[in-house]
């Protein structure tokens, strides 16, 4: 309950005009602060929601694939310049943004990520990095304004910010994931004679206990 | 968008129907292999189909059927499809003469939006239009059919004196090329709305503006038919001639 309260406070804070106008009047802040914070409210909801998650939905979300496909569709939607513009000029699109980012990005991301095996996670991260890099690069070099409501200098700054985020993600996540996938494959080969393959997270705990037994 | 939704809906229904046959899925949920198959056909595939369908439908509706990604693109597409009639607004030109937009009926009109204080892009726009004017006057007869109009959206500062100075810089002479300002604030609002021109203050704090860098083509019936890039005078002229013939 505490957590849902926190989510509600954060969401309302973002929605109230002073903060909303401040964040939306600037293209880099809009794309790299407001949109991720809205998605974060959805991720924060996960512990409160996952115990009450419908059984059939959890069953149907096989390996977290439908959930992550939903996340990729919604994030790429809110990267469209025309969607950013409409959110600025049309209150209905703005409302859709405030509802869809927590419920169609943050929440499914948090729920499906736990079900996704490491290879799937690595694929999603690689997809996000390349998409951020492509959009950022487009904003940096485009000679014309892509958004009707933001001047060219803000567009260039937003491009730089997106490329910065993509680079940070690449340097922080990619080595980690590569290591995990390698470890996972190695563990599977070693255990294949006596264990049936199981879900992503469980496999690590199995691997960790096996390693601990051998070393200790 | 509707088509995508229908296709996905039918797909989900087909999967649900197929999944009803025990031979293809399972009736007994306590069998593990059976359960896995149930999960794939009854849960996973319909959910995935639904997600992909809704995602594509949303994207298709925002991008007008995957054709545009920017507001500018959407605006140009809408003008080409619907061609709104421009409002009959009264303007005051660089000589202080009052005229109305309906006076241009029967002639093709190239319109651009300016403000005389403009430091950068208006200069380029002006010289491009000056080149169009030059091409027009060389072709003699065309001049009677194609006119140019630069409309200022800054009536607070742009009076006939400023407009006249601005027009002189590019060799604009009425009535073939008027540099004008709407006589009333309502008139300006109506014009900006119909032309879909978005004007935002730029980083210098409200003293200068950023607006769409476009030239608008209005046909003989007073309809806005095309939105063009200002950087190709020959193309502008060709489009105007095509629209006028």
pLDDT for residue B155 is more than 80:
yes
Q: For A122-137, how does the pLDDT look when each residue is reduced to its tens digit (9 = 90+)?
A: 888 888 899 999 999 9
How high is the pLDDT of residue A195? 47
pTM for the model stands at 0.74
Chain B nearest CA to A67, separation (Å): 8
Q: Residue B37 has which token pair?
A: 């198959």
B131/A contact by beta carbon, under 8 A: no
Q: Which helix (H) or strand (E) holds A198?
A: none
Candidates A58, A62, A147, A199, partner chain B, best to mutate (most B CBs within 10 A): A62
How far apart (Å, rounded) are the C-alpha atoms in residues B180 and A4? 57
Chain B nearest CA to A148, separation (Å): 6
How high is the pLDDT of residue A196? 47
Interchain pair A85, B71: CB under 8 A: yes
B67/A contact by beta carbon, under 8 A: no
Interchain pair A66, B74: CB under 8 A: no
Question: Looking at per-residue confidence, does B29 or B190 come out higher?
Answer: B190
Q: Which helix (H) or strand (E) holds B61?
A: helix B45-62
Say which DSSP state B85 is in: B
Contact between A91 and B73 (Cβ < 8 Å): no
How high is the pLDDT of residue B62? 85
A153 vs B46, B68, B203: nearest CB: B203
The sheet with strand B146-152 has its strands ordered as: B98-100, B90-93, B177-182, B146-152, B108-114, B215-218, B224-228
pLDDT for residue B244 is more than 90:
no
Among A89-93, A106-110, B97-101, B138-142, which is the least confidently predicted range? Answer: B138-142
Q: For B18-59, how does the pLDDT look when each residue is reduced to its tens digit (9 = 90+)?
A: 666 555 545 555 566 666 666 677 778 888 888 899 899 988
Q: Which residue bears the tokens 């469980």?
A: A202
Q: Which residue in B92, B70, B80 sits closest to B182, CA to CA?
A: B92
SS3 A94: helix
Give me the residues paired with residue B223 across strands.
Answer: B85
Q: For B223-237, how does the pLDDT look when each residue is reduced to its tens digit (9 = 90+)?
A: 998 888 877 777 777
| Length of chain A counted residue by residue | 216
Interchain pair A147, B210: CB under 8 A: no
Binning pLDDT at 50, 70 and 90, where does residue A36 land? very high
Q: Which residue in B223, B154, B155, B151 sits closest to B194, CA to CA?
A: B223
Question: Looking at per-residue confidence, does A200 or B88 come out higher?
Answer: B88
> Could you tell me the CA-to-CA distances from A179 to A186, A210, B143, B175 in Å, in that order?
11, 17, 72, 74
pLDDT for residue B141 is more than 70:
no
Q: Which residues in B lie closer than 8 A to residue A150 (C-beta atoms)?
A: 200
Q: Which residues in A lie closer than 8 A to residue B42 (C-beta atoms)?
A: 60
Among A50-54, A205-209, B94-98, B214-218, which is the least confidently predicted range? Answer: A205-209
Report, as an integer, the average pLDDT of A78-106: 89
Q: For B81-101, how does the pLDDT look when each residue is reduced to its tens digit (9 = 90+)?
A: 888 999 999 998 888 889 998
How high is the pLDDT of residue A62? 84
- With a pLDDT cut of 70, the percent of chain B lying above it is 76
Report, as an integer, the average pLDDT of B145-166: 85
Interface predicted TM-score (ipTM) = 0.72
How high is the pLDDT of residue A51? 74
How far apart (Å, rounded) are the C-alpha atoms in residues A121 and A184? 13
Say which DSSP state B114 is in: E
How high is the pLDDT of residue A137? 92
SS3 B89: coil
Chain A: residue nearest B48 by CA?
Answer: A66
Binning pLDDT at 50, 70 and 90, where does residue A70 land? very high
Residue numbers of A between 84 and 113 with CB closer than 8 Å to B: 85-86
- B216 φ/ψ angles, rounded to the nearest 5 degrees: -105, 135
How far apart are the two ends of chain B, measured CA to CA in Å? 37
B206/A contact by beta carbon, under 8 A: no
> Could you tell me the CA-to-CA distances from B233 to B215, B226, B236 in Å, in that order?
10, 15, 5
How high is the pLDDT of residue B119? 66
């Amino acid at each position: 309950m505490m957590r849902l309260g926190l989510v509600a406070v954060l969401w309302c804070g973002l929605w109230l005009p002073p903060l909303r106008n401040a964040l939306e009047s600037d293209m880099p802040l809009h794309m790299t602060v407001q949109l991720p914070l809205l998605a974060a409210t959805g991720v924060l909801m996960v512990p409160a929601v996952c115990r009450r998650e419908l059984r059939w939905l959890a069953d149907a979300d096989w390996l977290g694939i439908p959930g992550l496909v939903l996340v990729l569709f919604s994030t790429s939607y809110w990267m469209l310049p025309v969607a950013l513009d409409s959110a600025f000029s049309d209150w209905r699109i703005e409302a859709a943004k405030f509802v869809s980012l927590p419920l169609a990005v943050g929440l499914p991301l948090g729920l499906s990520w736990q079900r996704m095996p490491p290879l799937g996670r690595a694929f999603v991260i690689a997809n996000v990095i390349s998409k951020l890099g492509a959009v950022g690069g487009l904003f940096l070099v485009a000679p014309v304004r892509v958004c009707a409501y933001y001047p060219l200098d803000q567009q260039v700054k937003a491009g730089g910010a997106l490329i910065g985020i993509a680079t940070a993600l690449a340097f922080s996540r990619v080595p980690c994931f590569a290591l995990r996938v390698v470890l996972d494959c190695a563990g599977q080969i070693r255990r294949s004679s006596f264990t049936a393959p199981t879900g992503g997270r469980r496999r690590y705990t199995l691997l960790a206990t096996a390693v601990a037994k051998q070393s200790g | 968008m509707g088509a995508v939704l229908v296709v996905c809906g039918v797909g989900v229904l087909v999967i649900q129907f197929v999944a009803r046959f025990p031979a293809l899925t399972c009736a007994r949920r306590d069998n593990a292999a059976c359960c896995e198959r149930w999960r794939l056909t009854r849960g996973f595939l319909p959910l995935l189909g639904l997600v992909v369908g809704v995602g594509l439908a949303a994207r298709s509706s925002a991008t007008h059927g995957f054709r545009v990604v920017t507001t500018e693109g959407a605006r140009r597409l809408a003008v080409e499809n619907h061609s709104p009639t421009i409002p009959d607004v009264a303007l005051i030109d660089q000589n202080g003469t009052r005229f109305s937009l309906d006076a241009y009926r029967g002639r093709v009109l190239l319109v651009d939006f300016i403000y005389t204080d403009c430091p950068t892009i208006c200069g380029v726009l002006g010289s491009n239009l000056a080149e169009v004017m030059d091409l027009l006057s060389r072709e003699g007869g065309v001049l009677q059919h194609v006119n140019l109009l630069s409309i200022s959206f800054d009536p607070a500062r742009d009076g006939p004196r400023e407009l006249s100075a601005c027009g002189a810089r590019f060799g604009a002479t009425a009535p073939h090329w008027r540099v004008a300002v709407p006589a009333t604030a309502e008139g300006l609002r109506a014009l900006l709305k119909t032309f879909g021109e978005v004007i935002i203050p730029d980083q210098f704090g409200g003293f200068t503006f950023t607006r769409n860098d476009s030239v608008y083509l209005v046909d003989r019936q007073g309809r806005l038919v095309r939105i063009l890039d200002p950087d190709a005078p020959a193309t502008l002229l060709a489009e105007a001639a095509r629209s006028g013939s």
